[in-house]
Amino acid sequence: MTTIIHGDNGVVFPDSTTQGTALTTGNQTFTGVKTFASAPVLSAGATVGSATMAAPSGTAPLYVARAWASLSANSAANPTLNVSGNVASVTRSTTGQYAVTFTTAMPDASYSVQVNHGQLGMITMASTLTTTGFTIGAFVATTGAYADLATSIPFSFVVFR
């Protein structure tokens, strides 16, 4: 498909049977798939789903979370997944180790995981990153031994790529 830009008139998408115009201002709904040679530029006030994008400051690129979850530990059982995005499951595989599985796989294992919890004396970290998930390990700070997170303390994680 060829894309032709006509000044202020918009972008014309000719194909084998029809031709449509994408306006450069205002609102327009497209049917079918339209492919652009470069990424679209969103401005402040753009709506994604029901959320409105705020105006970013500066020129640094924006990166969004690819997966996240808020959980409640259940001692020696699987944690309760309170809310999440792109997380199929979180299961306790053994003492202090929790296997996270993505709903939709990452393109590779080169992503960053930030794990948060509020339990004093415990350290948490992500390891064994794969395209389909990763492992969260919980350790006692003074001994380095694996230990389950306390039931009363929520924990969360976020994945960036």
Residues 106-151: tens digit of each pLDDT: 999 999 999 999 888 999 999 999 999 999 999 999 999 999 998 8
Q: Are residues 28 and 76 in the same domain?
A: no
Q: Are residues 113 and 152 in the same domain?
A: yes
Q: Are residues 155 and 114 in the same domain?
A: yes
The SS3 of residue 86 is coil
Partnered with residue 97 across adjacent β-strands are 94, 137
Q: Are residues 73 and 149 in the same domain?
A: yes
Q: Are residues 140 and 81 in the same domain?
A: yes
Q: Are residues 75 and 132 in the same domain?
A: yes
Dist CA 115 CA 6 (whole Å): 49
- The two tokens of residue 109 are 């294992």
Dist CA 16 CA 157 (whole Å): 48
Domain, as residue range, for 2 = 1-39
The SS3 of residue 134 is strand
Q: Are residues 106 and 29 in the same domain?
A: no
Structure pTM?
0.69
